[in-house]
Chains A and B, each alone.
Chain A
Amino acid sequence: MRVAWLFLALAIATEVAGLTAMKAASASGSYAGHAIMYASIALSYVFLARAVKTISVGVAYAIWEGSGVALITLVSVFVFGHALSGREMLGLSMAIVGILLVNAGEAPEEEAAGEAAR
């Protein structure tokens, strides 16, 4: 179970790398930026596939998406020196609370049943 969360964290890290590359590429229009983006996203899905062996796919994807957007915002704050607006603080809090609730909402017995059905 713990290994699955590690894989999910790796999937999120590679996704954030890919989205950062996309942001840079859309500004400069470079092919290298797009190539890095597609490679990162592909790698991210390899990790995601490992994570969803034990974590419900709906839960894993929501966490992947939510953490991705939250981390991209933090990257723009810490790397690009962007000042955090009230709206962004609200968004970040929503992402954190949402992810905690999604985690709390995972029904373990049903997950086991799903595993067996596969």
Chain B
Amino acid sequence: MSANSFYFAFAVMAGVLDVAANLASTKSNGFARRGWGVLSILLVLAAFALLAEAVKGMELAIAYAVLGATGIFGTAICGRLFFGQKLKPVGWLGLSLVFGAVLVLHTA
């Protein structure tokens, strides 16, 4: 059980790094600010490395579901908080459907 939650934590961390990578990518202003751009790439590579660790001890489908949930909703929430990029209610419904699709396709 403790081993399971250990791998689960890796998957969550991968999602958090993915969100951070997206924010850095936005900050980079299309790579005009090199530092932010390089940081975003390093963050996403770290996210994938953690995902690769996570799937050693858990189902790929579950790891992807965790990553998808953290990444999709985390990015939308942080985009709103940090960049004022609001989404209409129909957009949040769309995010939920995309997340649902990630769940359905990875467990199919």
The interface of chain A, by Cβ under 8 A from chain B, is 26, 34, 37-38, 41-42, 45-46, 48-50, 52-53, 56-59, 61-63, 65-66, 69-70, 72-73, 85, 87-88, 90-92, 94-95, 97-107, 110-111, 113-114, 117-118
Is the beta-carbon distance between B94 and A45 smaller than 8 angstroms? Answer: no
Q: Are A101 and B90 in contact (CB under 8 A)?
A: yes
CB-based contact B100/A57 at 8 Å: no
Name B residues whose Cβ lies closer than 8 Å to a Cβ of A. Answer: 21-23, 25-31, 37, 40-41, 44-45, 48, 52, 55, 64, 68, 71-72, 75-80, 83-102, 104-108
Top 5 A-B residue pairs of the complex, sorted by shortest distance between their CB atoms? A105-B91, A101-B94, A98-B97, A58-B76, A102-B94
Chain A contact residues: helix, strand, loop or mixed: helix
Contacts of B21 on A, CB cut-off 8 Å? Answer: 45
CB-CB under 8 A for A95 and B25, given A38-B45, A50-B30, A62-B94: no
Known: A46-B37, A110-B86. A103 touches B94 (CB 8 A): yes
Q: Report the minimal beta-carbon distance from A45 to chain B, rounded to whole angstroms.
A: 5
Using Cβ atoms and an 8 Å threshold, which residues of chain B touch A114? 79, 83-85
- Which of B25, B26, B64, B93 is within 8 Å of A105, CB to CB? B93
- Complex CA gap A70/B75 in Å reads 20
On chain B, the residues within 8 Å of A103 by CB distance are 94
Let me know if B91 and A42 touch, CB within 8 A.
no
11 additional A-B residue pairs with CB within 8 Å, beyond A49-B26, A57-B85: A46-B31, A57-B25, A58-B80, A61-B22, A61-B75, A65-B72, A69-B105, A94-B104, A97-B94, A107-B85, A110-B86
CB-CB under 8 A for A105 and B92, given A56-B79, A65-B98, A69-B105: yes
